[in-house]
Chain A
Amino acid sequence: MSMDQAVTAEGIEQAITEFVSGRVKAEVPADEDLFASGLVSSMFAMELVVHLEQAFSVQILGDDLKRDNFRTVQAMTALVARLRGVEQPADA
């Protein structure tokens, strides 16, 4: 997957939604709490970390590994956008 065309908050959110939906085989709204819904095991959480790192060429280390950054597709989008220095809409 090429991220060059997709490095907008919107593009990032779309790519993450595709990955998560593909893995859990269900529609995943961007604001759904993945932990509360039981969709994410600790193994899958680590897969998410490695996937985001690879797909968006970022490093997610230390404090950024906290649960809140992975709770929803929106939260992951905001994390990736911040690490890549992408401009985000005010409500992201």
Chain B
Amino acid sequence: MPETETLTGARKLIDDLVGDRAAEWDRAGLIPDDVLRTLATRGLLCVGVPETFGGPGASSAANGEFTAYVGSRCSSLRSVMTSQGMAAWTIQRLGSPQQHAEYLPKLAGGKLAAVAFSEPEAGSDLSAMTTTIEPDGDTVTVRGQKVWTTAAHYADMIVVVGRYGSGAAAVVVPASAPGVTVSRVPQPSGCRAAGHADVRLDDVRLPASAVLGGGQPLMLLVTTALAYGRISVAWGCVGILRACLDAARGHARSRQQFGKPLAGHQLVGRHLANLLTAEQIATRVCEHASRCWDDGSPEMVVATVLAKQVSAVHAAQGAAAAVQVLGSAAAHEGHVVERAYRDAKLMELIEGSTEICQLILADHAVSMPGR
């Protein structure tokens, strides 16, 4: 299967590019430009883009496993992938055939992208968004303030979600357009090299052809765009759990205390059992959600929220357990488990916080058909 071959080669490339440098990138708060460009040029930051547009055309399942692989090595790089993939997915979903042809080959061929949702007064409540995309003949004017836009620091184009008439639209804003100011979030607590930034849009004038869709209900648009971000974050959390499990079991086998390996102490063994359980639960729930995507099943909507919720919560707990097992061995900045601890917690905040996901799932529990 060509798709599998592509991504197998891609894993080797990830090994070569990331190697043991993730800690250094985390401390510097920056992924080197050549690493991002090398991956972007091969379409590896958005492997779901169809082959017709020059992308690898991976299924959601293959995309997910690759995302977990990258996530097990560097959550910052995985976050950049999530943003790029979400930009591509949003363009695929909302864009016209002309816009697909215009933007998707760029995203699969070297350009970097981010998607801007959050605002100072619109975090969990995205319906409070005030950014406007105002049509004016064959141009539009974009005004507003976005915050915490992942990967915006690296992005060549930023997909901005805003109000459009009585509904909403997304608009593809070149980062270099006059009126766009991108300022980095100083020292984020997790995924520190993911290029989180605030994006100011002061009367940014663009051709009307940059507007994706237009007139959709805001929350349908947000739910649609976020669906990709959620499944991607969920798989990224599987990667975090795999990295933590590997580090914890390796340490528990080799480190001796009280005359035997740590793994021989039952209280440590319980942490290992919990980590393995968490990794398996997260993997299965993500596999299920990806199968729904690949089958085009309407269940994908809820299965994706469930996958994000389950994986992020387990990753945060699993990373904390791994910190406990490794003790002082991991208690320094940049260690894989120490990064996982910070990164996993951030995953409980973004793409719908744990509480927002719970509200969606509670709503589903109330309304779902009986069986």
Contact = CB atoms under 8 A, between A and B. Distances in A.
A35 B301 CA distance: 18
Interface residues of B, number: 34
Interface residues of A, number: 24
A36 interface: no
Contact of A50 (B167, B221, B301, B305): B301
A53 B296 contact: yes
A16 B350 CA distance: 34
A63 B214 contact: yes
A75 interface: no
Interface in B219-233: 219-224, 227
Contacts of A41: 363, 367
A50 B300 contact: yes
Contact of A47 (B221, B222, B301, B363): B301
Contacts of B332: none
Interface stretch (B93-101, B130-138, B195-203): B93-101
B214 to A, nearest CB: 7
Indicate the member of A41, A47, A50, A53 with the most B CB atoms within 10 Å.
Answer: A50
A45 B96 contact: no
11 contacts: A35-B217, A42-B217, A47-B302, A50-B298, A50-B300, A63-B213, A63-B215, A65-B94, A65-B216, A66-B167, A67-B167
Contact of A67 (B216, B223, B299): B216
Main secondary structure of the interface of A (DSSP, over half): helix
Contact of A45 (B214, B220, B299): B220
A53 B109 CA distance: 29
A63 to B, nearest CB: 6
B167 A47 contact: no
Nearest to B222: A42
Contact of A22 (B95, B214, B301, B369): B369
A66 B215 contact: yes
Interface in A50-92: 50-51, 53-54, 61-63, 65-67
Interface in A26-53: 35, 41-51, 53
B297 interface: yes
B212 interface: yes
A43 B213 contact: no
B334 to A, nearest CB: 39
Given A23-B367, A67-B217, A62 B212 contact: yes
Contact of B213 (A24, A47, A49, A65): A65
B329 interface: no
B364 interface: yes
Given A53-B296, A62-B212, 5 more contacts: A22-B369, A61-B92, A63-B96, A65-B216, A67-B217
B217 A45 contact: yes
Contacts of B302: 43, 47
A66 B216 contact: yes
Contacts of A43: 223, 301-302, 305, 360, 363-364
Nearest to B305: A43
B216 to A, nearest CB: 5
B355 to A, nearest CB: 16
Contacts of A44: 367
Nearest to B227: A46
B223 A24 contact: no
Nearest to A39: B367
